[in-house]
Amino acid sequence: MPIAFVLINAEIGSEGEVLKALREIEGVKEAYSVYGVYDIIAKVEADSMDKLKDVVTWRIRRLNKVRSTLTMIVIESFSKATD
């Protein structure tokens, strides 16, 4: 299952609005407002690479108040079990 992290720059003061819109997009599994160069980071999962690209290109990048994005596609992962 393809996974990507999308770093999002939003218009000043619109981070909450963008987070709310991300909740409605199928494939966006998590999203966080963060401090730093980017305003929001979103984790996106899809059944195929084509669907992943569609979510990023046609849904996230087209949201009102999104100024720019940087997409990082996962090539390898692991997770630690929590106690």
Give tens-digit pLDDT for 18-33: 999 999 999 999 999 9
Residues 6+ apart with CB under 8 A from 39: 8, 9, 10, 15, 18, 33
Domains, the chain, ranges and CATH?
Answer: 3-73 (3.30.70.920)
Q: What is the pLDDT of residue 39?
A: 98
Q: How confident is the model at residue 83 (pLDDT cuts 50, 70, 90)?
A: low
Residue 67's pLDDT is 97
Which pLDDT does position 81 carry in this prediction? 75
pTM above 0.85, yes or no: yes
CB atoms within 10 A of CB 73: 14
What confidence tens digit (pLDDT) does each residue in 38-47 have? 999 999 999 9
CA–CA distance, 60 with 77 (Å, rounded to integer): 23
